[in-house]
């Protein structure tokens, strides 16, 4: 270890080799941000927040590929059978991503990050929003693909295609929002990603089982319009819970 | 004053970790000593704005950490090394230090030089591009110190900073601390009284959540000398003072 002042020494016309070396080393060790990180930095107006976003565990390539595989399997099964598997798979996949976005169990340097100027709650919110948006995009694409394939398979179904897409999208987007907010609120309130994961998956399992018990069909949770009010209420309650857990004007908790 | 604590308490459920501590500290190196469970780490975490106090007031760098904009300003000028440094195994040393420089809101154009300076100060220049998973415990500790000093903090909080450092590194580290202490408030929580003797201008001793001694290392030595034969155990004069103050506090 070397004294701090040496690094900052040097005045007048003298050339301080140490200062020169630090300039060179800084450039040598400098990491080139990716295009995504640069874009995020511009949009978020914070290089730190952008860096925190691009290292989100549930936005890593391996995680995205795994999510894509699950939803693709759902899309293929939906196209082949007509059963809305995309709608059944999308909410729990997104909820897992939200639970693993940020927290003491997921981020090894969580304690350290909490002492920095970029607010940890802001990091969580930005990460959760991006994870949700990405999962929603994958879900929409899978829904469109499976509907197009189904229309091709079923002669004369083309006219009802757009309506079906709207219905199915509405059918899973609302439950996905509710389940994601449940996961976010639980992980934020309890400070545990595992708790968020259990809440998200458990909540969805209960909805599916409850739908089957009420309607007799295991797809009732995404096809029965009566459930929409339940999801809406759940989304509002969990949203309020998440806001309560993440309220940002009280300084350190 | 950079640290102004008034009657601060912190409870975790029914357990009281910090019980009515008042302390004022300006520039210099301040050693926080005490047995396990004395409340040192909790006090340090409150000063690092990681947790808030249950009661009492805390002002850091003349600002209130309970108010959001002021808290952010404090955090920009804060350096913190937690007891257990969490790290990303796939990051290089430079990437890790850079990440925290960015999280501390440093202007991006100043970051590369600051990262290089911090890494050089902890003597890891030749390992800057090594992945963290390949480093020894002592090297990881030095990486933790590098991220703590990267923003040239006005308040530097170090929890067990010398754990895992070899004697040569410890000597260099104390020299670095003394230099930083000339312009900033440095608080180190440690079990090693030799660190305190060599680097600190003030010693604060905690026991059972309370502050039981505050003075210079010389004052602590004097307390040990005054009670020889009555709880004055220890290998060095400072250890004897430490033991004597604790024995008195426990009576």
**Tens-place pLDDT, residues A122-139:** 898 899 999 999 999 999
User: With an 8 Å Cβ cutoff, are A4 and B87 in contact?
Assistant: no
**For residue A36, how many other CB atoms are within 10 A of its CB?**
12
Q: How far is B165 from chain A (nearest CA, A)?
A: 11
- Look-up of token digits 């969805």: A204
**A109 → closest Cβ in B88, B112, B176:** B88
Q: Is the pLDDT of residue A104 over 80?
A: no
Q: Which two tokens stand for residue A96?
A: 């897992």
Reported as a single tens digit per residue, the pLDDT across A87-98 is: 999 999 999 999
- Beta bridge mates, B207: B210
User: With an 8 Å Cβ cutoff, are B120 and A25 in contact?
Assistant: yes
pTM of the predicted structure, to 2 decimals: 0.86
Q: How far is A103 from chain B (nearest CA, A)?
A: 12
Residues in chain B: 251
Q: Where are the beta strands (DSSP E) in B26-138?
A: 28-33, 55-60, 78-81
Taking contacts as CB-CB distances below 8 angstroms, the residues of chain A near B66 are 250-252
Interatomic CA distance for residues A59 and B55, integer angstroms: 39
Q: How confident is the model at residue B182 (pLDDT cuts 50, 70, 90)?
A: very high
> How close are the terminal C-alpha atoms of chain B, in Å?
33
User: Residue A251's pLDDT is what?
Assistant: 43
For residue A253, give Cα distances in angstroms to A20, B8, B38. 43, 15, 21
Q: How confident is the model at residue A6 (pLDDT cuts 50, 70, 90)?
A: very low
Give me the total of CB pairs closer than 8 Å, taking one residue from chain A and one from chain B. Answer: 152
Q: Does B11 reach chain A within 8 Å, measured CB to CB?
A: no
Q: How confident is the model at residue B155 (pLDDT cuts 50, 70, 90)?
A: very high
Characterize A142-176 residue by residue with b for buried, 16 or more Cβ atoms within 10 angstroms of its Cβ, and e for exposed. Answer: bbbbbbeebbeeeeeeeeebeebbeebbebbbbbb
Which residues 68-87 of B are in CB contact (within 8 Å) with A?
68, 70-73, 75-76, 78, 80, 82, 84-87
Nearest Cα residue in chain A from B122: A1
Q: Which two tokens stand for residue A91?
A: 């909410």
Q: How far is A253 from chain B (nearest CA, A)?
A: 5
Taking contacts as CB-CB distances below 8 angstroms, the residues of chain B near A109 are 85-88, 100
User: With an 8 Å Cβ cutoff, are B121 and A7 in contact?
Assistant: yes
Nearest Cα to Cα of residue B32 among B238, B152, B211, B180: B211
Comparing A154 with B156, which gets the higher pLDDT?
B156
Characterize B191-226 residue by residue with b for buried, 16 or more Cβ atoms within 10 angstroms of its Cβ, and e for exposed. Answer: ebbebbbbbbbbbbbbbbbbbbbbbebeebbebbee
Residue A215 sits at φ, ψ, to 5 deg, of -110, -20
Taking contacts as CB-CB distances below 8 angstroms, the residues of chain A near B123 are 1-2
Q: Is the pLDDT of residue B85 over 50?
A: yes
Interval A175-179 mean pLDDT = 94
- Residues sharing a CB contact under 8 Å with residue B168, sequence separation 6 or more, in sequence order: none
Q: How far is B119 from chain A (nearest CA, A)?
A: 9
Q: Is the pLDDT of residue A166 over 80?
A: no
User: Residue A253's pLDDT is what?
Assistant: 47
**A26 → closest Cβ in B68, B85, B113:** B113
Q: Does B48 reach chain A within 8 Å, measured CB to CB?
A: yes
Lowest mean pLDDT among A7-11, A130-134, A236-240, B92-96: A7-11
User: Residue A17's pLDDT is what?
Assistant: 82
Taking contacts as CB-CB distances below 8 angstroms, the residues of chain B near A8 are 117
User: Residue B99's pLDDT is what?
Assistant: 96
Q: Which of A27, A29, A62 to mutate to probe the B interface, most B CBs <10 Å? A: A29
Nearest Cα residue in chain A from B44: A115
Q: How far is B231 from chain A (nearest CA, A)?
A: 38
User: With an 8 Å Cβ cutoff, are B86 and A7 in contact?
Assistant: no
């Amino acid at each position: 270890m070397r004294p701090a002042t040496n690094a900052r020494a040097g005045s007048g016309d003298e050339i301080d080799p140490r200062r020169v070396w630090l300039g060179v080393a800084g450039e040598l060790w400098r990491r080139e941000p990716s295009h995504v990180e640069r874009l995020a930095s511009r949009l978020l107006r914070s290089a730190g927040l952008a860096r925190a976003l691009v290292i989100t565990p549930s936005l890593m390539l391996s995680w995205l590929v795994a999510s894509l595989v699950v939803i693709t399997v759902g899309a293929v099964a939906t196209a082949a059978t007509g059963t809305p598997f995309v709608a059944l798979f999308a909410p729990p996949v997104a909820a897992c991503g939200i639970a693993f976005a940020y927290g003491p169990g997921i981020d090894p340097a969580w304690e350290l990050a909490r002492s920095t100027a970029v607010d940890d709650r802001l990091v969580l919110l930005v990460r959760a929003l991006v994870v949700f948006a990405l999962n929603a995009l994958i879900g929409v694409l899978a829904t469109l693909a499976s509907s197009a394939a189904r229309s091709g398979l079923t002669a004369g179904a083309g006219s009802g295609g757009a309506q079906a897409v709207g219905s199915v999208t509405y059918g899973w987007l609302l439950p996905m929002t509710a389940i994601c907010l449940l996961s976010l609120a639980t992980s934020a309130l309890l400070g545990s990603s595992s708790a968020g994961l259990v809440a998200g998956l458990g909540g969805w399992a209960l909805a599916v089982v409850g739908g089957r018990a009420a309607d007799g069909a295991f797809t009732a949770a995404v096809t029965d319009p009566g459930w929409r009010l339940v999801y809406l209420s759940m989304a509002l309650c969990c949203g309020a819970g998440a806001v309560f857990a993440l309220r940002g004007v009280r300084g350190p908790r | 004053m950079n640290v102004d604590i008034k009657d601060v308490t912190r409870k975790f459920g029914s357990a009281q970790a910090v019980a009515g501590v008042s302390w004022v500290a300006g520039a210099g190196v301040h050693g926080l000593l005490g047995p396990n469970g004395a409340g040192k780490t909790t006090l340090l975490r409150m000063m690092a704005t990681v947790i808030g106090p249950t009661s009492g007031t805390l002002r850091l760098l003349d600002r209130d950490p309970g108010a959001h904009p002021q808290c952010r300003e404090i955090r920009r000028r804060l350096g913190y090394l937690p007891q257990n440094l969490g790290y990303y195994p796939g990051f290089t040393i430079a990437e890790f230090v850079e990440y925290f420089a960015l999280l501390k809101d440093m202007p991006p154009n100043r970051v590369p030089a600051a990262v290089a300076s911090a890494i050089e100060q902890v003597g890891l220049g030749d390992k800057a591009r090594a992945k963290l998973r390949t480093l020894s415990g002592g090297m990881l500790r030095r990486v933790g110190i590098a991220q703590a000093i990267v923003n040239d903090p006005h308040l530097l909080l170090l929890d067990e900073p010398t754990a895992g450092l070899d004697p040569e590194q410890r000597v260099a580290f104390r020299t670095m601390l003394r230099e930083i202490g000339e312009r900033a408030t440095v608080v180190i929580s440690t079990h090693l009284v030799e660190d305190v003797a060599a680097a600190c201008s003030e010693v604060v001793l905690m026991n059972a959540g309370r502050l039981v001694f505050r003075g210079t290392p010389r004052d602590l030595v004097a307390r040990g000398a005054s009670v020889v034969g009555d709880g004055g155990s220890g290998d060095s004069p400072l250890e004897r003072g430490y033991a004597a103050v604790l024995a008195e506090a426990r009576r």
